[in-house]
Amino acid sequence: MMRIIVQSLMRLLALLPLRVHYVLGDFVSWLAEKVFRYREADVLINLARSFPDKKYKELQALKHQFYKHFGEIVAETVWFGGCRSGERLHRQHLAEIVDPDEINRLYEIAPSVMIMMSHAGNWELIGGIQSYDYTGKPTHVDESIYYVIYLRPSTKMWDKILHANRIASLRDRKNYRGYLESREVVRYVLEHRDEKIMYNFITDQHPYFKTKDPMKVRFMNQDCTTMKAAADLAIKTGMSVCFLSMQQERRGLYKLNYITICDDASTMTSQQIMDRYYELLQKDIEAQPWNYLWTHRRWK
């Protein structure tokens, strides 16, 4: 019953224009920062360790910018659930693929493509990827072959709510098979290695699951362990690999840029792939520090 109530409320809100959602998002950011102080200590610690040269006032300003962006993420995510056909999403021009030629090239030369991205920009919008090309060129980026890997939430209610929201703009929501839970992805990739697929894999520091051989990386001035399943799978199946940058040009517009890491992962080691991935991610974060999910506890 609670799920139905929450979903119904979200769908009603989703009918409102995005500009109205941003007003509501500003209220959410104020509540998170000033009233509930949502994970404020984690945010400040992460920022201070990542930017050791910044003074306290600068860190406080970055914290404020982050919470403002956090409200934008909430606003955009709820609004996204109202894009039931993809046409509304395309008209809004909320996100734009910068260079579809590069992702097309990677798709054409390899058995499949491993796309690695982080919790930067608004990852909840990736389900609308087929609506973000404004070049008019033919593209391989399509829901029929674009798969998104996710981590199942701790509650079944939010798992179902987020699932429905994330695939809202697809043409064929009923038969879409590209929403893969992270625990299932290894078997799925190996069983479907003869199919040409783009796998969008959110990759963070500190693995979700325990591993016997954790990989170490240097990221944002800190030593940490990292997820490496995407790199391992790409190497095993000879995929091309790229980093998906999601920079914010302004409120209401993200630029998506597919940056090649390698044409053939089997020619690299997992360490080389992950080091390059974090090099590209750090460059994005340093350019837009607020455009990253600082509330997480991933430097452990």
* pLDDT (0 to 100) of residue 206: 79
Contacts of residue 142, Cβ cutoff 8 Å, sequence gap at least 6: 130
Whole-number Å distance between alpha carbons of 273 and 268: 7
pLDDT at residue 209 tops 90: no
pLDDT digits (tens, 9 = 90+) for 65-99: 999 999 999 999 999 999 988 899 999 999 999 98
DSSP symbol at 240: E
pLDDT digits (tens, 9 = 90+) for 240-280: 999 999 999 999 999 999 999 999 999 999 999 999 999 99
Domain ranges of the chain: 2-287
Percent of the chain with pLDDT over 90: 80
Region 33-53 average pLDDT: 97
Contacts of residue 13, Cβ cutoff 8 Å, sequence gap at least 6: 21, 24, 78, 79, 82
3 or 37, which is more confident? 37
Query: Is the overall model pTM greater than 0.85, yes or no?
Result: yes
What is the rounded radius of gyration, in angstroms, for the C-alpha atoms of the chain? Answer: 19
